[in-house]
Amino acid sequence: MNMFVEIVISFFLVVAGIFGLVGSFGMVKLKDTMQRLHAPTKATTVGVGGVLIASMVYFLLVKGTLSFHELLITLFLFLTAPVSAHFIAKTFIQAKMKPEELPGSESDYGWAIYDDPPTYYDKD
């Protein structure tokens, strides 16, 4: 195997290991749900993504085959990890925080999704 290929694969594996270690350390040390949410999303996205990219590089440059499994897993992970973290954060805010604890918004309707409510909600 070419020395350059080994260095590239090792680089992705080391980066993945570092992010996995930092993410697991963050899960132990951070205090509440909103702080803990940040560590595993970065660890899974970059950590597992680094392992999958290293695997794709290995199969492409050493074995000579293109591996679509790792590519699909990487794309799925990069799309779903931020979305699931966003849903967890929104659920935590709705369940645990009172409206007066949230920072102010410039909207007339607070932290609503729309700037103006749909017409069937108007009570005029």
| pLDDT, tens digit, 9 for 90 and up, residues 65-108 | 888 888 898 888 888 888 888 888 888 877 887 767 777 777 66
Residue type, 60: L
Taking all residues of the chain, what is their mean pLDDT, rounded to a whole number?
81
The single-letter DSSP state of residue 69 is H
- Number of domains the chain contains: 1
Reported for 83-88, long-range contacts at CB under 8 A and 24+ positions apart, including other chains, are 84/41, 85/37, 85/41, 88/33, 88/37
Of residues 56 and 38, more confidently modeled: 56
- pTM beyond 0.95: no
Q: Could you give the CA distance from residue 40 to residue 30 in angstroms, rounded to a whole number?
A: 11
Question: What domain range includes position 81?
Answer: 3-121
